[in-house]
């Protein structure tokens, strides 16, 4: 855009936008609105595109989802008309980041792929590496470290060849952490350690205290995996000393989340509480419900780990309410995406590459990497559909939650690789039940699994649950550290059966089944408890020994 071609008044508005960007959002918004009106009156796509892009960017920084999507969608067509490929790349990149933050990885990939195509077609390597870094983070989010490594490596190579670029140390730090996290996810701590050495030797001496925070988060997780306990404790101490309310949580949420989850796993409960409380308010202020929901998962894990059933129930209800609000946000993103594609007349021109990438991504996002079972995302979707079917047909529905007895003792004594094999073995045994029509199973997390039974009597459901228990026991998978008498891998099961009624939800059934499992574990492991009423009065232990 040639600024000198405009009147002094328009030039001043453009300069005011540049000067206030990221500093005073209200001034930016007011100036952009005036520029947009000038552009519309002059039929000038350059002014219209610039004004709408700047508005979208401002709303992005304000975490104003609805206005962000509207302005970014509206800026794309005029920018394309004037061939502003750099702005188009940045717009698609921001749409991808916002979509991923709000829990929609397929939408995010669509935007990132469009941004990469612009970069490759119009030779914008200075922007392409940024998109590749974000694609790397996307693949880490869905548990695919192999693809994450490809994208992080692309960004890393660009950075290494541009050492005089602004923020070189910060960007190299981000690339090293991304590569290190991907290798950690692959279970290759030795390769992750190579990037730790680069960070320590070449980056840390030049970073500000706040910039070191994410480095310490990565280091703590790496040292934990390598059983370097003293160094891990030192990193935890550094993070507690460095963390303040001024930390830009949105920029470092994933790093802080992974670190806080590690604190829970290692039973650093005091440090966990410190981090959770420090992150809670900044996360709430972002207005991104997907991040609030992820943080709430940590609180649920803590309640369960500390046997706080009362707080667990309250937080579970809050989780369900957030889940409903997120569905509304997804609907909004779908609406805006349809509008985007309609305006640009590109619905028929979506490339086979994007379609294939999204199909693969959708499958990845719905399945658990270790077991191949469906994950919680698909579970939530299926449970809603099954509940609606049962309500409509006035037919029965049962939800079972089960876990492996004394799995922590198994993992601690046999090691993580053996623990993964144990989970895989139980998952395979569970999936055998899908030979029955109307049976769905998913990994709920850790050593917990969920099974949904549609259209069966309570006795039939119990029979299938017994069949599963016998299958696992008969396999004679050794667990010498189990406190169950037979010293084999066994499971405990909580099942809630009923005919759904108005005012209920899948979460009611899931929560009731979880409460029954909790009772089983308090009374007698290796048992099945099946309940028939929401108040628990008709709960019945149908098997104490699994026979």
- Dihedral sign, Cα of residue 92, residue 94, residue 99, residue 105: positive
| DSSP H or E segment with residue 516 | helix 506-523
User: Residue 170 pLDDT more than 80?
Assistant: yes
Residue 437 φ/ψ, nearest 5 degrees: -65, 140
- pLDDT score for 254: 87
User: Residue 347 pLDDT more than 80?
Assistant: no
Q: What percent of the chain is predicted at pLDDT more than 70?
A: 88
User: Residue 356 pLDDT more than 60?
Assistant: no
- pLDDT score for 348: 37
- Dihedral sign, Cα of residue 376, residue 140, residue 431, residue 298: negative
- pLDDT score for 358: 57
pTM of the model: 0.59
- pLDDT score for 351: 41
Rounded CA-CA distance 341/337 in Å is 6
Please state, as a whole number, how many other Cβ atoms lie within 10 Å of the Cβ of residue 261. Answer: 17
- Return the top range by mean pLDDT from 72-76, 88-92, 100-104, 251-255: 88-92
Lowest mean pLDDT among 201-205, 289-293, 404-408: 289-293
Rounded CA-CA distance 495/517 in Å is 8
User: Residue 316 pLDDT more than 50?
Assistant: yes
pLDDT band, very low/low/confident/very high, at 329 (cuts 50, 70, 90): low
* CATH 1.25.40.10 fits domain 85-202: yes
- pLDDT score for 344: 45
Contacts of 349 (CB under 8 A, 6+ apart): none
Stretch 81-102: mean pLDDT? 90
Lowest mean pLDDT among 360-374, 476-490, 499-513: 360-374
CATH architecture of 369-543: 2-Layer Sandwich (3.30)
For 240, counting Cβ atoms within 10 Å of its Cβ (0-12 exposed, 13-18 middle, 19+ buried), the class is middle
Q: What percent of the chain is predicted at pLDDT more than 90?
A: 55
The model's pLDDT over 260-277, given as tens digits with 9 standing for 90+, comes to 999 998 999 999 999 888
Quick one: which of 184, 193, 109 has its CA closest to 151?
109
pLDDT band, very low/low/confident/very high, at 317 (cuts 50, 70, 90): confident
CB distance 91 to 56 below 8 Å: yes
Task: Find how far residue 428's CA is from the centre of its chain.
Answer: 25
- pLDDT score for 363: 57
User: Residue 357 pLDDT more than 80?
Assistant: no
CB distance 91 to 69 below 8 Å: no
Q: Average pLDDT over the chain, rounded to whole?
A: 86
For 308, counting Cβ atoms within 10 Å of its Cβ (0-12 exposed, 13-18 middle, 19+ buried), the class is middle
Retrieve residue 227's tokens: 């059983």
Lowest mean pLDDT among 69-78, 223-232, 346-355, 435-444: 346-355
């Amino acid at each position: 855009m040639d600024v000198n071609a405009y009147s002094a008044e328009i030039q001043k508005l453009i300069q005011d936008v540049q000067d206030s960007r990221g500093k005073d959002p209200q001034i930016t918004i007011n100036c952009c609105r005036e520029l947009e009106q000038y552009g519309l009156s002059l039929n000038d796509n350059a002014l219209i595109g610039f004004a709408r892009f700047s508005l979208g960017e401002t709303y992005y920084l304000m975490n104003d989802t609805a206005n962000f999507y509207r302005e970014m969608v509206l800026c794309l067509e005029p920018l394309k008309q004037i061939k502003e490929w750099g702005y188009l790349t940045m717009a698609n990149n921001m749409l991808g980041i916002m979509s991923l933050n709000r829990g929609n990885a397929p939408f995010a990939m669509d935007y990132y792929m469009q941004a990469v195509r612009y970069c490759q077609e119009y030779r914008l390597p200075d922007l392409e590496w940024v998109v590749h870094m974000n694609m790397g983070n996307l693949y880490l989010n869905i548990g695919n470290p192999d693809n994450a490594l490809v994208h992080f490596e692309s960004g890393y190579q660009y950075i290494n060849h541009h050492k005089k670029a602004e923020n070189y140390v910060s960007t190299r730090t981000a690339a090293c952490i991304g590569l290190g996290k991907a290798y950690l996810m692959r279970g290759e701590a030795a390769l992750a350690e190579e990037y730790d050495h680069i960070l320590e030797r070449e980056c840390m001496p030049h970073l500000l205290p706040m910039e070191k925070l994410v480095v310490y988060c990565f280091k703590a997780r790496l040292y934990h995996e390598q059983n370097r306990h003293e160094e891990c404790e030192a990193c935890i101490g550094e993070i507690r000393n460095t963390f303040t309310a001024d930390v830009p949580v949105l920029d470092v949420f994933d790093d802080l989340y992974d670190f806080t989850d590690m604190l829970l796993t290692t039973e650093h409960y005091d440090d966990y509480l410190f981090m959770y409380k420090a992150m809670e308010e900044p996360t709430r202020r972002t207005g991104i419900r997907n991040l609030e929901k992820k943080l709430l998962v940590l609180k649920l894990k803590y309640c369960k780990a500390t046997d706080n059933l009362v707080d667990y129930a309250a937080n579970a209800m809050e989780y369900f309410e957030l889940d409903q609000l997120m569905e509304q946000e997804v609907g909004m993103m779908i609406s805006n995406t349809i509008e985007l594609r309609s305006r640009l007349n590109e619905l028929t021109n979506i490339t086979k590459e994007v379609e294939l990438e999204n199909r693969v991504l959708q499958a990845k996002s719905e399945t658990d990497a270790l077991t191949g079972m469906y994950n919680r995302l698909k579970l939530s979707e299926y449970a809603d559909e099954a509940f609606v079917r049962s309500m409509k047909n006035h037919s029965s529905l049962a939800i079972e939650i089960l876990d492996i007895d004394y799995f922590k003792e198994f993992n601690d004594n046999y090691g993580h690789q053996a623990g993964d094999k144990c989970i895989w073995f139980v998952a395979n045994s569970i999936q055998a039940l899908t030979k029955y029509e109307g049976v769905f199973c998913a990994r709920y997390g850790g050593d917990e699994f969920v099974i949904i039974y549609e259209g069966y009597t309570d006795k039939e459901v119990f029979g299938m649950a017994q069949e599963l228990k016998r299958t696992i026991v008969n396999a004679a998978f050794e667990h010498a550290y189990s406190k169950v008498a037979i010293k084999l891998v066994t499971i405990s099961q909580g099942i809630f059966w009923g005919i759904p009624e108005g005012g209920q939800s899948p979460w009611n059934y899931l929560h009731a089944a979880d409460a029954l499992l909790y009772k089983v574990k308090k009374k007698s492991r290796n048992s099945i408890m099946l309940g028939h009423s929401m108040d628990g009065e008709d709960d019945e232990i149908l098997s104490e020994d699994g026979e």
